[in-house]
Structure formats: C-alpha cells, structure tokens
Amino acid sequence: MPINQPSGQIKLTNVSLVKLKKQKKRFEIACYQNKVQDYRKGIEKDIDEVLQIHQVFMNVSKGLVASKEDLQKCFGSVNIDDIIKEILNKGEIQLSEKERQLMLNKINNEMLTIISAKCINPVSKKRYPPTMIHKALQELKFNPVIGKPAKLQALEAIKILIAKQIIPIVRARMKVKVLVTSQENSEVIEKLTQMISGPNNAGNASSTWERIGLIDPVNYRDLVSLCNGNGTLQVLDMAVIDDSK
C-alpha cells in the first residue's frame, strides 16, 4: 500500500524534482539540483549526496511514496537504488524559475567562453570578447537551452556566426604535428600536405615524413582518419591566436 505522508512532515529545502514517466505512471525523486548535474557528468557518484531523501515518490509535494507493487510493475524491480539511478539518468529535471535562469546563465557563459576561445576576427587575428559574441548571437536570436551540453551549443552557434557574418569571424586554426611512419605512404602524405598549411619545418627522415603546421578544425577528423594506422598525430595548440598585432 502507498504510504501517505503529510507534506509538512517532510522538510525539503532548495529541492529540485527529477521525474520519470513509465507505463502511464509518474515517479519522482527529490534532489539537490546542482548535484543532479554533477551525477550526470560523473563528478558525483554517491546518490545519497544527490538525494534530499532516499525514496521514490509518486508525488513529492504530497509525500506520496511509490508502492512496491507500482515499482515492480513499472521497473521490474523493487531495488530502490537501481530505480533511483534510472530516474536520475533518464528523468526530466523540474527547475524553479530562479534555478532555470541560473542554469541558463551558466550554460550561456560556458558557451560564450568556448566560442571566444575557438574563434578569431580574420582581419585582426584577435579573439572576440564574450560580450561581443553574446550581442551577435542576440541579433541572430540564438539562445542557449537547458539539457544540451554547452560545448555542443557553442559549435552550433559558431556555424551560424560564420554563416551569417554579423561580425567578421572564423574558426581559429589548430597547430598539429604529424608523423607518418613510412615515406611509401605517398597518397596519405599528399593528402596531409594539402590539409596542413605552413612551412615544412619539421624535417623528413629517410623512413618517416614529419610536419608541423596549421589546420582548419573542420578537417581534424579527416586528419585523424589519415593518421590512423599510418602514423601519429599530436595537437600542439587547439586555437592558434596571433596576439603580437
């Protein structure tokens, strides 16, 4: 039988709910919102640090605890820890308006920082400050969302910024070092030469081909594929910025 507990008997502060619907029934757990994010990122592994109360509810605000019958029917188990972990991993986080705004601000700041680090003004070769990037994204009506990693949203924003050119902007190039283990890989070496710009200043040994230079980040995966089984790839700088000007 469900245990009905008056909501006043459960003292929960700064609570965020994580909800999961299974077989037309809704299950809830009461958590600390920041800890839920840490758990999903793998930073926090102790669910007791995430939970406000170690229990699965049908309705937290009413203190309605899920029955064993419902748990068995919907989850195929009555193991509370396993069920809580599933809800933590798959459930929807319900945030208060204040928590939602704080989360959006955090994601937005992370996104802007990533864009600033990865992009430059092609004329001045300088980074744009996050404030200028923010203004450009506002003009483009690009707004971050909760539930999607900041890095992924940053990459989406970069594509739009480059396509629309509200401000002159390009991806900063990556500096790499490539070593091909055999000069006989002439086809691979030819493709690498086309992808890596800059002087051939690394030198070539009789049995190897070595090159240090710059690449467009969009070609990085192709570079990895070419080097796989043929040589080694080392990233020396994720975003080359000329700060001397």
pLDDT (average), residues 93-108:
83
Distance of alpha carbon 153 from alpha carbon 166, whole angstroms: 18
pLDDT (average), residues 41-70:
89
| Percent of the residues in the chain that have a pLDDT greater than 90, as a whole number | 34
Question: Has residue 206 got a pLDDT over 80?
Answer: no
Q: What is the pLDDT of residues 207-221, one digit of tens each?
A: 778 888 888 888 888
Question: Has residue 136 got a pLDDT over 50?
Answer: yes
On whether both 199 and 188 belong to a single domain, the answer is yes
At 9, is the pLDDT very low, low, confident or very high (cuts 50, 70, 90)? very low
Looking at the DSSP bridge assignments, the partners of residue 170 are 120
**Domain end: 136, 170, 204, which one?**
170
Predicted confidence at residue 153, as pLDDT, reads 95
On whether both 147 and 187 belong to a single domain, the answer is no
Q: Is residue 6 part of a domain?
A: no
Output the domain CATH number for residue 196.
3.30.70.120
Output the domain CATH number for residue 143.
1.10.10.900
Angle at alpha carbon of residue 141, lines to 135 and 147, rounded to 5°: 100
On whether both 118 and 53 belong to a single domain, the answer is no
pLDDT (average), residues 146-154:
87
> Please, which residues have CB within 8 angstroms of residue 194's CB and are 6 or more apart in sequence?
none
Output the domain CATH number for residue 42.
3.30.1250.10
Q: Is residue 33 part of a domain?
A: yes
SS3 33: helix
On whether both 86 and 119 belong to a single domain, the answer is no
Predicted confidence at residue 5, as pLDDT, reads 43
Name which of 102, 106, 91, 79 is nearest 36 in CA terms: 91
**Domain end: 76, 94, 112, which one?**
94
List the domain range (segments joined by +) for residue 196: 173-237
Predicted confidence at residue 38, as pLDDT, reads 84
How far out from the chain centre does Cα 200 lie?
Answer: 35
State the total domains in the chain: 3
Contact yes or no for 220/175 (Cβ under 8 A): no
Question: Has residue 203 got a pLDDT over 60?
Answer: no
**Domain end: 94, 111, 146, which one?**
94
On whether both 89 and 19 belong to a single domain, the answer is yes
Q: Is residue 5 part of a domain?
A: no
Q: Is residue 42 part of a domain?
A: yes
State both tokens at 150.
Answer: 């900041």
On whether both 90 and 18 belong to a single domain, the answer is yes
Q: Which amino acid is at 204?
A: N
Q: Is residue 43 part of a domain?
A: yes
Tell me the pairing of strands 25-32 and 15-22: antiparallel
173: exposed, middle or buried (Cβ count in 10 Å: 0-12, 13-18, 19+): buried
Predicted confidence at residue 32, as pLDDT, reads 83
| Percent of the residues in the chain that have a pLDDT greater than 70, as a whole number | 88
Q: Is residue 3 part of a domain?
A: no
Question: Tokens 């188990």, residue?
Answer: 77
Q: Is residue 2 part of a domain?
A: no
Q: Is residue 215 part of a domain?
A: yes
Contact yes or no for 26/12 (Cβ under 8 A): no
On whether both 185 and 139 belong to a single domain, the answer is no
On whether both 40 and 69 belong to a single domain, the answer is yes
